Amino acid sequence: MTFTEPELAYLRSQRLGRLATVAPGGDPQNNPVGFRLDAETGTIDIYGFNMGASRKFRNVQQNPQVAFVVDDIVSLDPWTVRGIEIRGTAETLTGQPVPMAHLSAEIIRIRPRLVFSWGVDPSAEGMTRREFS
């Protein structure tokens, strides 16, 4: 399994993340995006309005290397943050079922290669790191 149970619970509780892609000229692009977790396959699906016409969709078609971050602030005092960073490869898919009527049938699917998490698992101190082949 790609994600631990605490990571799965955290990802299920969140709706917004930030997807970083790389344009053909090498410029990075980082956008807030909606996502859905597929716990069985261990993948993250990025949805959007007119996704197939977006720059991030075109970027992934040219360079599949991505980073995706989901994080939040649990408390300001004391300062407590938690989150997950997923680095991996992505693919663009068309004709996919849509979870909401206003979303397009194109998605970006992320397959994790490296997962960092912090503050998500109460039994883990600091940041954890796992790599997958």
| pLDDT at res. 1 | 64
* 78 cis-preceded (ω within 30 degrees of 0): yes
What is the distance between the alpha carbons of residues 126 and 100, in angstroms, rounded to a whole number?
36
Consecutive H or E run containing 85: strand 79-93
Encode pLDDT of 37-89 as tens digits: 988 889 999 999 999 999 999 999 999 999 999 999 999 999 999 999 999 99
| pLDDT at res. 100 | 81
Domains and CATH numbers, the chain: 5-123 (2.30.110.10)
| pLDDT at res. 31 | 94
Strand partners, 84: 70, 117
| pLDDT at res. 129 | 95
- Token pair 């078609």 is at which residue? 61
Query: Residue 133 pLDDT > 80, yes or no?
Result: no
| pLDDT at res. 99 | 81
Encode pLDDT of 82-112 as tens digits: 999 999 999 999 999 888 888 899 999 999 9
